[in-house]
């Protein structure tokens, strides 16, 4: 990994107001670039707004449609990487909570939320891939909100070479400080256990359909320490320099970097034993 300045955005993006939300994304992307950031991460489903009520035909946007192309053009114009969330129509009249990765001169990347929260079941479709994006300068993974509660996903991305895990949220309820305290129960563990930077950000304000989001952002280093936070509750950017030396300090320390000492052979055996025991219990 090379040193990189990133920005985590906190935005109010009402449901269904795609054009207005796109205007806001463009504005804040340019502000991030003016602040010297080379990558900006927007919250979950920023472009379309977050909802568990809307029907996909009237709401979702395609990853090969006009808005995705506009995002690629914006990344090219600003010479920066943009991580932007959207609702994508799924084939079964549900939606994917997707996060698009636009990089200058590169095809659009897509992560689709893999773990669906109980209120989202029946509306959201789960994704089936956990890609890692980037190059030799920096490699990163993306997880959306509820995904972050499942340690296996972070370990998988770290094993695929991720240096940073971005955690865009659309997480309602509570004050910004309460949201931060909730996050710190598990997001620090994702960073510490895997030796990666963690960057999380949340939507801001009311979505127009009964939900209100406490604007919050936090950056955690590979030792599990908080580098920076924003609990102002206002729209804005948290701009932070991620120093490669912090990553190297952990990964060169034999007692602080746990990932190389994992036992995937053992985990596969335990999983196979578990599956076998379950089959015996059900008589299959």
In tens, the pLDDT along 56-104 reads 556 789 999 999 999 999 999 999 999 999 999 998 889 999 999 999 9
220-252: pLDDT as tens digits: 999 999 999 999 999 999 999 999 999 999 999
Q: Specify the pLDDT at position 284.
A: 58
Q: What is the largest CA-CA distance in the chain?
A: 63
User: Is the pLDDT score of 269 beyond 90?
Assistant: yes
Tokens read off for 83: 């991580």
Instruction: Give the closest residue to 41 by CA, choosing from 86, 84, 98.
Output: 84
Average pLDDT over residues 20-30: 98
Q: Specify the pLDDT at position 136.
A: 83
Confidence of residue 135 (pLDDT cuts 50, 70, 90): confident
Q: Specify the pLDDT at position 235.
A: 98
Predicted model pTM: 0.96
Q: Please provide the DSSP assignment of 20-47 as one string.
A: HHHHHHHHHHHHHHHTT-SEEEPPTTTT
Given the structure tokens 């499942």, which residue do they identify? Answer: 150
Tokens read off for 192: 């510490």
CB atoms within 10 A of CB 109: 18
Q: Specify the pLDDT at position 92.
A: 85
User: Is the pLDDT score of 275 beyond 80?
Assistant: yes
Domains present along the chain, CATH in parentheses: 4-282 (3.60.110.10)
β-strand partners of 9: 237
Average pLDDT over residues 253-280: 90
151-204: pLDDT as tens digits: 999 999 999 999 999 999 999 989 999 999 999 999 999 999 999 999 999 999
The three-state DSSP-derived secondary structure of 100-115 is EEECCCCCCEEEECCC
């Amino acid at each position: 990994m090379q040193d990189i300045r990133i920005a985590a955005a906190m935005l109010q993006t009402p449901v269904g107001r795609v054009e207005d939300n796109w205007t806001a994304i463009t504005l804040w992307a340019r502000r991030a670039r003016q602040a010297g950031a080379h990558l900006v991460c927007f919250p979950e489903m920023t472009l379309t707004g977050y909802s568990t009520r809307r029907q996909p035909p009237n709401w979702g946007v395609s990853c090969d449609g006009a808005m995705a192309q506009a995002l690629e053009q914006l990344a090219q114009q600003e010479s920066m990487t943009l991580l932007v969330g959207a609702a994508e129509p799924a084939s079964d009249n549900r939606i994917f909570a997707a996060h698009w990765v636009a990089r200058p001169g590169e095809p659009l990347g897509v992560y689709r939320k893999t773990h669906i929260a109980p209120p989202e079941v029946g509306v959201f479709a789960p994704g089936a891939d956990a890609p890692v994006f980037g190059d030799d300068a920096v490699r990163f993974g993306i997880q959306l909100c509820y995904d972050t509660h499942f340690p296996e996903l972070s370990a998988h991305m770290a094993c695929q070479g991720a240096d940073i895990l971005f955690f865009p949220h659309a997480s309602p309820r509570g004050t910004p400080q309460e949201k931060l305290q909730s996050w710190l129960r598990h997001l620090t563990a994702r960073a510490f256990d895997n030796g990666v930077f963690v960057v999380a950000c949340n939507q801001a304000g009311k979505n127009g359909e009964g939900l209100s989001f406490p604007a919050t952002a936090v950056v955690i280093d590979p030792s599990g320490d908080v580098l920076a936070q924003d609990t102002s509750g206002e729209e804005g950017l948290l701009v932070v320099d991620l120093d490669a030396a912090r990553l190297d300090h952990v990964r060169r320390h034999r007692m602080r970097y746990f990932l190389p000492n994992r036992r995937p052979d053992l985990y596969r055996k335990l999983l196979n034993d578990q599956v076998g025991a379950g089959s015996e219990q059900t008589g299959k």
